[in-house]
């Protein structure tokens, strides 16, 4: 084998150097995208406070409203339930209405976060990446 055959082809060296440079640009682009994803998720999470979800129990006798962060915003109680003898029933209905509203808030919050990051996060079936950021 001749010594010049041991040296790589200059064209191959140029290609190698250029592809390395391109992958650095790709990496920088990816880091920029991650910052964009984080900013969008933070904004979407901050906006969850404005999301209002209501649920009822006892055929509408108790209504609980929560925001997208699962904080109780209001509770409405039918006046007919405000008797001492109905205290336990009222407590149970409040718990049921709040739990129902919180479950719906979680569903809607995930949908809103998913919309906010649409096109930014990879769509892998069966993998929910919205929980990675909060």
* pLDDT tens, residue by residue, 40-80: 888 888 888 898 989 998 899 989 888 888 888 888 888 88
Q: How many domains does the chain have?
A: 1
> Does 131 map to a domain?
no
> Does 126 map to a domain?
no
Residue 75 belongs to domain spanning: 8-119
> Does 102 map to a domain?
yes
pTM flag (> 0.85): no
Residue 64's φ and ψ, nearest 5 degrees, are: -115, 140
DSSP 49: G
> Does 3 map to a domain?
no
């Amino acid at each position: 084998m001749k010594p010049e055959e041991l040296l790589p082809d200059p064209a191959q060296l140029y290609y190698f150097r250029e592809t390395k440079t391109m992958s650095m640009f790709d990496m920088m682009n990816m880091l920029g995208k991650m910052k964009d994803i984080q900013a969008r998720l933070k904004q979407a999470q901050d906006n969850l406070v404005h999301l209002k979800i209501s649920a009822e129990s006892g055929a509408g006798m108790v209504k609980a409203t929560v925001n997208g962060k699962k904080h109780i915003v209001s509770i409405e109680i039918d006046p007919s339930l405000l008797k001492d003898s109905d205290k336990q029933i009222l407590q149970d209905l409040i718990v049921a209405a709040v739990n129902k509203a919180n479950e719906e808030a979680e569903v809607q919050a995930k949908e809103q976060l998913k919309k906010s990051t649409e096109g930014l996060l990879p769509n892998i079936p069966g993998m929910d990446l919205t929980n990675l950021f909060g």
